[in-house]
């Protein structure tokens, strides 16, 4: 296990804890209306929106187990645990090793939490749900409800905090574009332009 004692929970999160709490609550309300007790969230874009977790390692299995009642559980590879602590305010992480079968591990978490007999949902249109993973889950869980489209309408309506972040991002892009245009000249190559753009955007406050 990585030593995360010096990592502040949510220190790298894009939003405050209350923003994510509101998103989770709104998602739970939609799940309840759909008759789903627990949703397995696998899409990195939906995981990010609900928790703040982001990683270039989304090609490995990760899932958020979101119950209508009770605390959410994040199933995550050990290598990602440090990121998870820094990026999210989720307190419960179930960590699997690279040699583990992630589907077996996830099902074990469902059983441990007493959710195996609940109505479980999954976004069957998710780009990051391999056929082999879905078939393995179906073989172990039986009927799985389709929760495609539960989260996306919520993401489409921006909160005040999101609008503020979008405005900031636009300022960073504007600073970078202006610097790039100013750097155009005889003999200037692509590296010089990109360097000017990146430098100006970061100086304005951008992290990327």
Q: What is the pTM of this model?
A: 0.90
- Residue 8, domain member (yes or no): no
Residue 7's pLDDT is what?
Answer: 83
Kindly state whether residues 22 and 47 are assigned to the same domain: yes
Given a cut of 50, the residues of the chain with pLDDT beneath it are none
122 in Cβ contact with 151 (< 8 Å): no
Kindly state whether residues 64 and 139 are assigned to the same domain: yes
Q: Which alpha helices (DSSP H) does the chain contain, by range?
A: 17-33, 44-51, 81-87, 102-112, 131-141, 152-156, 160-183, 190-204
Supply the CATH number for residue 89's domain. Answer: 3.40.350.10
Residue with token string 């069957």: 124
- Residue 7, domain member (yes or no): no
Kindly state whether residues 169 and 76 are assigned to the same domain: no
Residue 183 buriedness (CB in 10 A; 0-12 / 13-18 / 19+):
middle
Residue 207's pLDDT is what?
Answer: 87
107 in Cβ contact with 77 (< 8 Å): no
Kindly state whether residues 110 and 189 are assigned to the same domain: no
Residue 127's pLDDT is what?
Answer: 87
Of 88, 103, 64, whose CA–CA distance to 15 is shortest?
A: 88
- Residue 58, domain member (yes or no): yes
Q: Which domain holds residue 197?
A: 160-204
95-106 pLDDT, tens digit per residue, is: 999 999 999 999
Composition of the chain by helix, strand, coil, percent to 5 = 50, 10, 40
Kindly state whether residues 124 and 164 are assigned to the same domain: no
Specify the number of domains making up the chain.
Answer: 2
Kindly state whether residues 65 and 139 are assigned to the same domain: yes
Residue 1's pLDDT is what?
Answer: 53
């Amino acid at each position: 296990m990585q030593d995360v004692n010096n990592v502040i929970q949510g220190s790298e999160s894009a939003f405050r804890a209350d923003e994510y709490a509101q998103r989770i609550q709104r998602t739970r309300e939609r799940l309840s209306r759909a008759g789903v007790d627990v949703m397995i969230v696998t899409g990195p874009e939906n995981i990010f929106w609900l928790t703040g977790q982001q990683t270039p390692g989304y090609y490995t299995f990760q899932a958020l187990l979101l119950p209508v009642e009770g605390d959410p559980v994040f199933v995550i590879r050990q290598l990602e645990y440090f990121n998870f602590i820094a990026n999210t305010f989720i307190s419960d992480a179930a960590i699997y090793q690279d040699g583990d079968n992630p589907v077996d591990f996830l099902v074990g978490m469902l059983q441990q939490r007493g959710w195996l007999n609940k109505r479980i949902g999954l976004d069957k249109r998710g780009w990051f749900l391999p056929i082999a993973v879905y078939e393995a889950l179906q073989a172990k869980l039986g009927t799985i409800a389709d929760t495609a489209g539960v989260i996306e309408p919520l993401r489409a309506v921006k909160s005040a905090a999101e609008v503020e972040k979008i405005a900031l991002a636009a300022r960073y892009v504007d600073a970078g574009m202006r610097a790039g245009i100013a750097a155009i000249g005889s003999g200037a190559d692509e590296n010089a332009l990109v360097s000017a753009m990146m430098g100006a955007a970061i100086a304005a406050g951008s992290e990327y």
